[in-house]
Copies of this chain bind each other. A is one copy, B any other.
């Protein structure tokens, strides 16, 4: 299993139109065939001190393996998403995890 988890911090985090555009863009990615499971998220109402809830949106994908994730990375739909939406974010952190 390969988990690709992306956290987005936006230039205008409270802007509903920007959030909606990012969400719409992420939804286009779900057409990429190698994705096994996906989740578009926002910070939960949990507030322990180790919890980072400063991000605006999260994007979690489960792939079978690295090869399937690389197909996603280089897919035209993914490239179009980055072109269309990259102006929205100020910072992105990606954590890619494989079976330990």
A-to-B contact residues, CB < 8 Å: 1-3, 5, 7, 19, 23, 39-46, 48, 50-53, 55, 57-58, 60, 66, 69, 92-100
Q: How far, in angstroms, from A36 to B99 measured CA to CA in the complex?
A: 17
Q: How far, in angstroms, from A68 to B12 measured CA to CA in the complex?
A: 32
A28 → chain B closest CB, angstroms: 15
Residue among A41, A93, A97 having the largest count of chain B Cβ atoms under 10 Å: A97
Assess the A42–B7 pair: CB atoms within 8 A: no
Q: How far, in angstroms, from A48 to B97 measured CA to CA in the complex?
A: 14
Q: How far, in angstroms, from A45 to B7 measured CA to CA in the complex?
A: 19
Assuming the contacts A2-B44, A58-B3, asked whether A39 and B92 have C-beta atoms less than 8 A apart, the reply is no
Assess the A48–B3 pair: CB atoms within 8 A: no
Assuming the contacts A5-B5, A45-B66, A66-B45, asked whether A53 and B96 have C-beta atoms less than 8 A apart, the reply is yes
